[in-house]
Chains A and B, each alone.
Chain A
């Protein structure tokens, strides 16, 4: 296991292009919420088919969730308070959605760079100065 993986660090994902929407979703009862991108968004950005994506990156976790459940969880987030953000999804849909977990490898594939930062304790008195 990578040493960095053992630490709780802030990860900042930087990109020159608008980042794809990221959804904090619990996909199974045995796991907590994790961050997922819509596979369809990823495929569109990479200009790949679902089949070639799965063949090229078999280790990347892709899960399928009911659109209604996805909508239910996503709409609970205060970050999606703008109605237009979820207007493409239907709360009563019986369709399924494929999600791919947001990871450092996927971020790199999408042209983003990742910067990690250990959270530092707050200064006791006053603010901090420069950098």
Chain B
């Protein structure tokens, strides 16, 4: 174990998410320090994705930990998020 890497995100607590869009589900695990914008950017290589919870848009800089504590505390994993695709990205 390399202690110089102990702060790496991969050693953080990992939050379990379920991303829903219509009837499609995708399950995701990531660091609690990941922010909504990171997740959104991973999702949207070519698409403009907006992350939602209870039909409300989530701010880009909200961390998964804050999201969990403010919206999902006391509930079972995974935290369910929704997303919408606003438009296609042009290259």
- Chain A residues proximal to chain B, CB less than 8 Å: 8-19, 21-22, 24, 30-35, 77-79, 81-82, 84-85, 102, 112, 115, 117, 119, 122, 127-128, 130-131
Interface contact B27-A17, CB-CB below 8 Å: yes
User: Is B74 touching A128 in the complex (CB atoms < 8 A)?
Assistant: no
Closest beta carbon of chain B to A124's beta carbon, Å? 12
- Contact among B30, B44, B68 with A13 in the assembled complex (CB-CB below 8 Å): B30
29 A-B pairs within 8 Å (CB atoms) are namely A8-B5, A10-B9, A10-B31, A12-B39, A12-B42, A17-B27, A18-B18, A18-B27, A19-B27, A19-B78, A22-B29, A31-B1, A32-B3, A32-B11, A35-B13, A79-B16, A79-B68, A81-B74, A81-B75, A82-B76, A115-B42, A119-B9, A119-B38, A122-B61, A127-B59, A128-B60, A130-B86, A131-B46, A131-B49
Dominant secondary structure of chain B at its interface with chain A: mixed
B39 / chain A contacts, CB cutoff of 8 Å? 12
Residues in chain B near residue A31, CB distance under 8 A: 1
How many Å from the CB of B11 to the closest CB on chain A?
6
Taking the closest CB of chain A, its distance from the CB of B9, in whole angstroms, is 5
Which of these, A9, A13, A131, contacts B28 with CB under 8 Å?
A: A13
Classify the interface of chain A: helix, strand, loop or mixed.
loop
The smallest C-beta distance from B15 to any residue of chain A, in angstroms, reads 6
The A/B interface has a contact count, at CB < 8 Å, of 116
Is A14 a contact partner of B27 (Cβ separation < 8 A)?
Answer: yes
Contact residue among B25, B30, B61 (Cβ-Cβ distance under 8 Å from A11):
B30
How big is the B interface, by class?
Answer: 35 or more
Chain B residues near A127: list those with CB within 8 A: 59-61
Contacting A at CB under 8 A, from B5-55, are 5-16, 18, 25-34, 37-42, 44-49
Q: How far is the CA of A10 from the CA of B69 in the complex (A)?
A: 20
Contact partners of B28 in chain A: CB under 8 A: 12-15, 19
Other-chain residue from A8, A9, A13, A34 in contact with B29 (beta carbon distance below 8 A): A13
Docked CA distance A39–B40 (Å): 31
Chain A residues with CB below 8 A from B74, complex form: 81-82
